[in-house]
Structure 1
Amino acid sequence: MEVDALTIVLTIAIAVVLGYIKFNKSEPDVHPLLLQQQASVTPIRCEGESAIHRSKSVPHGSPLSKQPSEKVKTLYDVWQVGSAINPTGRALMYMIQNQFGYTDTTYEQLDRKIAGFGTSLIKETGLKPKTETPIGLLTQYTQESFVAQQAFYRYSFVTVPIHDLRNKDLLIDIANQTKMKVLVATHKVLPLLLPALKECPSIKTVIVIGIYISEQQKAEAAQHNVKLLKFADMEYQGASNPLPAVKPDPEDLAMINYNTKSTSLSKGVMLTHANLVAAMTAFNLSLPGPRKFTNKDRLLSHFSIGDVIAVWMTGAIILAGGSIVFPSGLMKNVLHDSQATTPTVFASTPVILEKIQEALQLTYGQGSMFRQAYASKLALLRNNRVTTTSLWDFIGLGEVRSRLGGKVKLIVTTNPTKADTIEYIRAAMGIHVISTYGRTETSGIVTSRNMYDYSNTPQLGAPVGCNEVKLIDDEESGYSCSDEPNPRGEILIRGPNVMKGYFKKPNATSAALDQDGWFHSGELGSFHANGTLELLGKKKKKKTAKDSSPGQE
C-alpha cells in the first residue's frame, strides 16, 4: 500500500497539533474550589479573639499530629526507621576537601560513624547521657555536624547550635548561659575561639572538625585547661567497640536554640524530641500524596545548623530512606553543587533563591527564545498549572531547569520570599515551591502554603497539622479580631511543636506561654476568608522591666 506525500504531511501535522495540545493543556493542577477553604475553622470565637484555625487534615475535636507512627517518637527513632529501609543505600553526599567532586556514605557506614563518635565523646569527656547535658556546635551544617547531632540523639545529649561563627561575644554569652563543657567546632574558627576560652571557664574540651591542629593551638588551649581533640579520630576510635544507645524519651530536650546573631540577654529556646518530631510529621502530612518523600529523594539544603527547619527537613528525608547533600557553603558554587549532585528536593533561604533568579536571568533572560518561552509558561501558571512537559520546556527552558541538576521537583523555603522569585521558579523551571512560616519557638513551622496555590498573594498558607492558630486583639497597633473584611491581631500558636520554654528564663517563658499553652508570638497577622494567614509585622513592645539574668532567675 502506497502512501502519498500529502497523507504523510497531514499525519505529521495532526501529530504536531495533538502533541502541542497535550503538552500545553491549561487544565489547572488542582480544582480552584479546593483552594477556597484551606483550614478547619471553629464556628464560634471568644470575645477579643478570632476563630481557631487548624489544618483541614486534623479538624477540631481530633488530636493534633504528633508523630508519623508508633515506632517514631524521637529523632533517634527517625534515624533507626529510615536507615533500616535501605542500609546499603546512599545516606550522605559531601564535597571532597574543597575539590569540585562529591563522595557519598551509606547508611551502614554512617551509622558506624555516629556510634563511634558518640562512644568516644562519652569516654573522652566523661559526660553522662540522659542528664540533658548541652554540647555546643560552632560549625557550618556539614557531614561532621550531622554525625555529631545524630550521636547526641543516640546518647541523649542536647545540641546547642551557635549561628554566627564570627561573633566571639555571642559564643561567650551562650557558653556561659548553658555552662557547656564540650564544644564541637570547625578548625576555621580556632583563631576566634582560642582567645575566647579564658572567658568560657566551663568549656573543657573542644572537638575540632578538620585535618590539622597545630602544636601552638594545643598549647594555647592548654593554657585554659582545655584539650583539643580531632573529630575524625573520635569517629574511628569509638567505632571498634561502640557503646549501646542510651535512647531519649519524647519529652527529653533535643536542642537549645539561640536563634540570634546578637548578644545581650539572648534567649535559648528549649525544644524536645517530641516538638521536632511533631513539626516533621506535620510537614510530611501537608505534602500531597504524589509528592510524598521516598527513598529515591535527595535533599540539598542551604539552611544553617541553627535553623530548626534544617532539623525537620533532614528528618523527613531520613524517615523515607532518602539521601542528603551537604553543599560547599560558597554562594558562587550554589548552582554547581546542585548540578553535581542532582537533588530532587531543594531547601533554601529566600536570599539564595533570589540570587539564583538573578543569575539565571542574567544568563538567559535577554534571549528572545527565553522571553517567548517564559511568557507562555507564565500564561500556564496564570491558569494554575506548573509543568515541565510543555513544548517550551523542550525548546526554550530545558537548559534553565538543568542549572539546578534537572531533577528538582520541590523547593522549600521560608517567609518572606519575593513573589516574583517564586513565580520565576514555577514558570521558568517548572518546579513546585512551598513557602513556610514558623518561629524557633514553634520548631520552625506554623503554616505551610498549599503546593498548588499559585496566587501572587502575601498569604503564608494554612496551619499545619501539629498546631492550631488564633489571633487576639492588639491595642497598640489598633488591630482587632472584629476588623472587616478580615480579623487582625497578634498571632498565637498552640500544639505539640511549641517549645518547652526559654532556658533558665522562667520570667520570659511565662510571658510567652500562657496557662492554656498558647505561645504569644509577638507578631501581627490577619486571617483571610480561605483560612490562610498573612503576616502584618511585629507587635510593638511595651516598656517593661528587662528580663533578669540567668543567675537571678
Structure 2
Amino acid sequence: MTTTTLERAPLGADERAEWARRHTLTRYLPHKVEREDRDDGTILLRSGYDLPEAVPNTGAWLHKWAEKAPYRVALSERPVDGPGWRNMTYLELLQQVRAIGSSLLARGLGQDDTIAILSGNGLDHLLIALAAQYIGVPVVPLAEQYALIPEAHGRLIYVLNKVKPKLAFVDDATRYSAAIALPELAEVEIVAARGSADRPVTMFSELMNGAEADVDAAYAKVGPETLAKILFTSGSSSDPKGVPTTHRMMCVNQAQFAAALPFIGDTPPRITDWLPWNHVFGGSHNVNMILCHGGTLTIDSGKPTGKAFSTTLQNRIDRPGTMAYNVPVGWKMLVDAIRDKPDIQKHLFKDQEMLFYAGASLPQDVWEALESFCFEARGGLPLINSSWGLTETAPSCLVVHEPIGRSGVIGVPLPGVEVKLIPDADMRCEIRVRGPNVMQGYFEDPEKTAAAFDEEGFFITGDAVRFVDPNDAARGLVFDGRVSEDFKLDTGTWVQAGNLRMTALKGLAGLAQDVVICGHDRGEVGLFIFPVPGSAEPGEITEGAITDTHLMTQIEVALREMNSHVTGSAKRITRALILAEPPSLQHQEITDKGSLNIKKILTRRADLLERLYDNEDPGLIRI
C-alpha cells in the first residue's frame, strides 16, 4: 500500500505570467490530493487541505449576519402582482423566521413532524423552510409538477404517504387547488401565500404575525444531528427515495466549499438563481452558500426553457451578481442570446468571480465564448468550474477549485471527503464516498439503506469516473456514466449503457427525442426509441410500435453509420423499436428532472421488450 500527496507542478516563468494575466480577480487554491493505492487495486483519494469547523445549524448564519450586516439585503424577488423588487434584509429575515417559527410551535409542530412544500421557489417558500429548520421541524420540498400536473399526483401521493406531513405550504391556493383537495391532505393544515380553494386555507400572513411560543428553547435544541429536510431523489431507476438531510450535512458542506474556494468569503456573494429547491444543489447548496457568507440571493422565477428564458435573462441583467450557476443548456442559451451584444456582455460579466455548470459537460465552444466575454468585460477570467455530488451527499463531494481551461472535469475531493475508486480493466472507476456531508441512510427504508453502503461505510453512488491523468490525481476526475445502469449481455460482456445512450442520441439527432438501451441477459444490444414528435406519419403504428417505413429507414441508416465506427458487441446496437407512446408521467416513466425512469419503462413495456428481440416483428429495425 502506498500513500502520496500530489500537488500541481510549479509553473514556469512564462506560464506564471500568462496565468496571472488570465486569472486576475479570483483567489483560488491549487488542487492538492492525497492518494492511497491498496493492494487489491482500490484507490482512495482525499483532499490535502484541512476541514474547518462548521456551525451547528443553519440558524447560526442568520444570527451572525443579522448582527454583522443587519441592513444588507439577504433575499430578493419580483413580486407577483407589482413592479420592482421585494427585498428582505438579514435583520428582517431573522425576525420573520422567528415569528413564523413561533406560529409553527403554537400549532404543536416539533422535530417528529414534517412540513410539505408543494410549490416552487419563492421568498415565502424560503421563509417557512428556514423557520421550520430554525425550530427543528424538517421540511419536504417537492417538485411543483407533482402537484400541478394531475398525471403526476401518484408520485405526490406516494411521498405524502411516506412523510405524513402535519402542514403543507403552497404559494397560491387557487393554482394548487387540485392537489390540496387530495384525500391524503384532508387532515393537513394548508398554508398559502395567496388564493383560495374549496377547503379551509390558512393565509401565510397569519404565520408571519407570530404567536406566543418559546422560540429560543426550540432553537437551543437544534444541533448538528437535527433533521433539517427530507429530499426525494428523482427516481430514475425506482420509486423516489427520501434522503434525510441534517444540519451537520448542510453546514459541513458549506465549510468544505469555503476551504476549497476561499474567494467566496472575500466579499459577500450575490447570485440570481433559478435552480429548483426540491433538488439538492439549488436548495441545499446555493441557498446555504448565500446565507453562510452573508450574501444576497435574487430568486429567479425564470428557467432555461423556451418560454421562461426571457425572464431569466432580464433578471440576470437587472441583478447580474458576482457568481452564476447554471446547467449547460442554460449557459448555451445565454451565450446565443448575447453573442452580438457587447454592452450586455460587459454588464453581466464585469463582476463575476465564478461561473459554475453542472448536470452535464459544458460544450467547449460555450466555455470559450464565456471566456471571451469575461476578458472583454474585466480583462481576466473568473473561475469556471464544476462539481459532483448527489442528493445523498448534501450535495458536493468533488469540486474544481483551480483554473483548468477545459470543460468536463468534475474536480478533486473536498476537505473531509474520502473517495474510493474501484477501477476496471479499462481504468473506468466506480466511485464511492464517505464523509460528514454524506447521509446515514434513507428515510424509513432499512432495506435500501443496507444496500447503499459497503462494508467500510462508503456510500455506493452508482456513478463512474475516470482520471484526467492516471499518474496525477490532482488533475481531477471526469464523469463517465452510471455503473448502476450498466448490464451484462448473456455472453458476460458489460454494456456501459449511459455512455452508449449518449452516443445513440448524438447519432440519432433530429430523429430521437430520447432512447433506452436494452439487452440485459440478451445476446445483443437493442434500443427503444422515443421519436421526435411529428417525425412519423400519423397512423403508421402496429400495436404500440411505429412502423413508418421512411422513419425506420432513416434510423437504420444512422445506426449503421454508428456501428461502422465501433468494435465489440457491447457498443454495437443491432436492433431498435420506435415506440408510439411517449414516456408517461402518470406511470412514473419520467422523473421530476425530466429524465427517463429506465426501470419503470422496461417493466411497464415488457411486451415491447420481447418484440424488440423477435426477428419477425414488423416494427423491428434490424441492423
Tell me which residue corresponds to 2:202: 229
- Within 5 Å, give how 1:261-280 maps onto structure 2: 265-280=239-254
Tell me which residue corresponds to 2:296: 323
The CA deviation at 1:269 is 1.0
> Contact 2:138–2:230 at 8 Å: present in 1 too?
yes
Tell me which residue corresponds to 1:177: 162
Worse-matched range after superposition: 86-95 or 181-190? 181-190
> Contact 2:30–2:401 at 8 Å: present in 1 too?
no
Tell me which residue corresponds to 1:113: 96
The CA deviation at 1:313 is 2.6
Tell me which residue corresponds to 1:193: 179
Residues 82 and 200 of structure 1, relative CA distance in 2, 3 Å threshold: same
- Superposed CA deviations along residues 21-43 of structure 1, whole A, max 9, x for unmatched, are xxx97755579xxx998342334
Residues 54 and 295 of structure 1, relative CA distance in 2, 3 Å threshold: same
Work out the CA distance in 2 between the residues paired with 1:504 and 1:171.
17
Tell me which residue corresponds to 1:159: 139
1:533 aligns with 2:477: yes
> Contact 1:163–1:261 at 8 Å: present in 2 too?
no
Work out the CA distance in 1 between the residues paired with 2:130 and 2:454.
33
Tell me which residue corresponds to 2:190: 206
Q: What TM-score, normalized to structure 2?
A: 0.66
1:351 aligns with 2:311: no
> For 1:52, what is the secondary structure of its paired residue?
strand
1:408 aligns with 2:392: no
Q: Which amino acid aligns with 1:193?
A: A
Tell me which residue corresponds to 2:446: 506
Work out the CA distance in 2 between the residues paired with 1:118 and 1:73.
18
> For 1:42, what is the secondary structure of its paired residue?
strand
1:422 aligns with 2:355: no
Aligned match for 2:76, one of 85, 93, 97 = 93
Work out the CA distance in 2 between the residues paired with 1:399 and 1:199.
49
Tell me which residue corresponds to 1:393: none
Aligned match for 1:488, one of 387, 410, 428 = 428
Work out the CA distance in 1 between the residues paired with 2:29 and 2:99.
52
Tell me which residue corresponds to 2:418: 468
Q: Which amino acid aligns with 1:425?
A: L
- Superposed CA deviations along residues 178-217 of structure 1, whole A, max 9, x for unmatched, are 111211112164233134x21445x51111122x32xxx1
Aligned match for 2:46, one of 42, 46, 54 = 54
> Contact 1:139–1:305 at 8 Å: present in 2 too?
no
Aligned match for 1:298, one of 267, 270, 277 = 270
1:256 aligns with 2:201: no
- Superposed CA deviations along residues 422-465 of structure 1, whole A, max 9, x for unmatched, are 33222223443221111111111121113411134x32111111
Aligned residues: 446
The CA deviation at 1:252 is 1.5
Q: Which amino acid aligns with 2:328?
A: P
The CA deviation at 1:174 is 0.5
Indicate the structure with greater strand content. 2
1:333 aligns with 2:311: yes
> For 1:157, what is the secondary structure of its paired residue?
coil
1:281 aligns with 2:265: no
Tell me which residue corresponds to 1:439: 390
> Contact 1:115–1:242 at 8 Å: present in 2 too?
no
> Contact 2:120–2:144 at 8 Å: present in 1 too?
no
Q: What TM-score, normalized to structure 1?
A: 0.74
The CA deviation at 1:175 is 0.4
> Contact 1:526–1:534 at 8 Å: present in 2 too?
yes
Residues 266 and 328 of structure 1, relative CA distance in 2, 3 Å threshold: closer
> Contact 1:117–1:148 at 8 Å: present in 2 too?
yes
Q: Which amino acid aligns with 1:303?
A: L
Tell me which residue corresponds to 1:102: 85
Work out the CA distance in 2 between the residues paired with 1:26 and 1:190.
52
Work out the CA distance in 1 between the residues paired with 2:455 and 2:116.
32
Tell me which residue corresponds to 2:14: none
> For 2:176, what is the secondary structure of its paired residue?
helix
Work out the CA distance in 2 between the residues paired with 1:148 and 1:245.
19
